[in-house]
Amino acid sequence: MALRSLLLGAVAAGHLAAAASVTCSASAPLSCHNTTSYDTCCLNYPGGHLLLTQFWDTNPATGPSNSWTIHGLWPDHCDGTYDSSCDSSRAYTNITQILQAAAPSTLQYMQTYWKDYTGNDETFWEHEWGKHGTCISTLKPSCYTNYQPTQEAVDFFSKTVALFQTLPSYSWLSAAGIVPSSTATYTLSAIQSALTSRFGYAVTINCNSNKELNELWYHYNVQGSVQSGNFQPADPVGSGSTCPSTGIKYLPKPGGATTTTATTLTTTTTSAAATGTPLSGKGYLNVVTGGTQTGCIISAGTWYTSGTCATFTATASGSGFTLTSSKGKCAISSNALTCASSVTTATVFSYDGTYLTYGGSSSFYATAVPSGTTQSTVYTSSQSVSLKITWQAQ
């Protein structure tokens, strides 16, 4: 009976996680809740209490002015103590190259949302990986079948980004009226309740010595592996919030570009973003299908899922904006998006607070989801695949 359910669980998990190299039984225990010993490739141990931590840096500012940024993913012990720098042989010093080769869209996202306040992102990523990532038991090379060097670091960064995208702190706070201000102050209980009502559990809320809100820690236990397991929100353990109970400042980020992010799009249905806001400046056009980011638009205006996203420049025009890539102006021509030097009149697009719109509609289409080196034309007329396009400011 036990064997049978274990096998069925393994088969089911295997189907779901075709691309993952660690397959864990659906009956693997929840970390910090196991009552017997279990394979540490499928039970995070001893670091079973995972924290997704976020920064609000204002001096100097990092990241978009309307988003928190990623600090890291930390495997604390169940009592809040933790191990660090667990495997110097895997303290990689080429995180950018590793991700460029294996997960370019994760890298691109990190270049906006996982920022070092001194400007040295690579060193910061190396530190987070080497100090914390190498202590995650389910990421040990021996847990992988056909392990390829550095693939566990790719899993670490991809998972951290994916978790961060489910935790839009800026939107959660702003929906409760807690917005950056150089004059307002907030109470700890108001901030806690704004976040707890969304996350489901208390969040560790940290301030610097000037009572300025600067860090949030979201706590989880994990059933199965970090790579493909189920992250379950949990109560904090360890040191408590460092903010005072009243008089907390939440300072604006000076000079940051405002962006509506892929982070907020899936969760902010009652978005505070104004509708019809024109976009301006440089950014990426990400493609969303079925609520998930699936590649992006490249310089010719086509949709691609496996390469580097093109930078577009949005310039205010009329009630909206035009878009330009390195290939030239972008236009809707014969119901298809094209960016080329031959385009003489750029089309005016709009933005509904979440998605790019054309002619009042945020729906775009393709005849197929591209894969490998294939590109798909993006149409404004109905085709078999429906997609939406988001703006990620650079």
Ligand X SMILES: *[C@@H]1O[C@H](CO)[C@@H](O)[C@H](O)[C@H]1NC(C)=O
Footprint on this chain of ligand X (rule: CB under 6 A) = 34-38, 40, 43, 45, 92, 94, 97-98, 101, 149-150
Q: Is 126 among the residues known to form the active site?
A: no
Nearer to ligand X, 37 or 145 (CB): 37
Query: Which residue is catalytic, options 49, 126, 128, 219?
Result: 128
Nearer to ligand X, 150 or 268 (CB): 150
Nearer to ligand X, 157 or 321 (CB): 157
Nearer to ligand X, 67 or 150 (CB): 150
> Cis link prior to 180 (omega < 30° from 0)?
no
**Rg from Cα positions in the chain:** 22
> Residue 325 and residue 314: Cα distance in Å, rounded?
9
Instruction: Write down the least CB distance from residue 50 to ligand X, Å.
Output: 15
> Residue 38 and residue 35: Cα distance in Å, rounded?
9
- Give whole-number Cα distances, 256 to 60, 62, 112, 253, in Å: 10, 8, 11, 6
* CA terminus-to-terminus distance, the chain: 54
Instruction: Write down the least CB distance from residue 64 to ligand X, Å.
Output: 28
Instruction: Write down the least CB distance from residue 30 to ligand X, Å.
Output: 11
Exposure letters 170-208 (e unless 16+ CB within 10 A, then b):
bbbbbbbebebeeeeebebeebbebbeebbeebbbbbbe
Nearer to ligand X, 129 or 164 (CB): 129
Query: Which residue is catalytic, options 49, 126, 132, 219?
Result: 132
**Structural contact between residues 129 and 95, judged by C-beta atoms closer than 8 angstroms:** yes
Q: Please give the structure tokens belonging to residue 38.
A: 């279990």
Q: Is 15 among the residues known to form the active site?
A: no
Instruction: Write down the least CB distance from residue 84 to ligand X, Å.
Output: 19
Instruction: Write down the least CB distance from residue 101 to ligand X, Å.
Output: 4
Angle (CA) 72 18 92, round 5°? 35
> Cis link prior to 46 (omega < 30° from 0)?
yes
Q: Is 77 among the residues known to form the active site?
A: no
Half-sphere exposure of 236 (CA within 13 A, CB side): 17
Three-state SS for 232? strand
Instruction: Write down the least CB distance from residue 387 to ligand X, Å.
Output: 30
**Token pair 């400011």 in the structure block, residue:** 393
Nearer to ligand X, 107 or 296 (CB): 107
Query: Which residue is catalytic, options 49, 71, 215, 219?
Result: 71
- Residue closest to ligand X when measured from CB atoms: 37
Instruction: Write down the least CB distance from residue 221 to ligand X, Å.
Output: 12
> Residue 103 and residue 105: Cα distance in Å, rounded?
6
Q: Quick one: residue 290, left, alpha or beta (phi over 0 = left, psi -120 to 50 = alpha)? A: left
Nearer to ligand X, 36 or 319 (CB): 36
The catalytic site residues sit at: 71, 128, 132
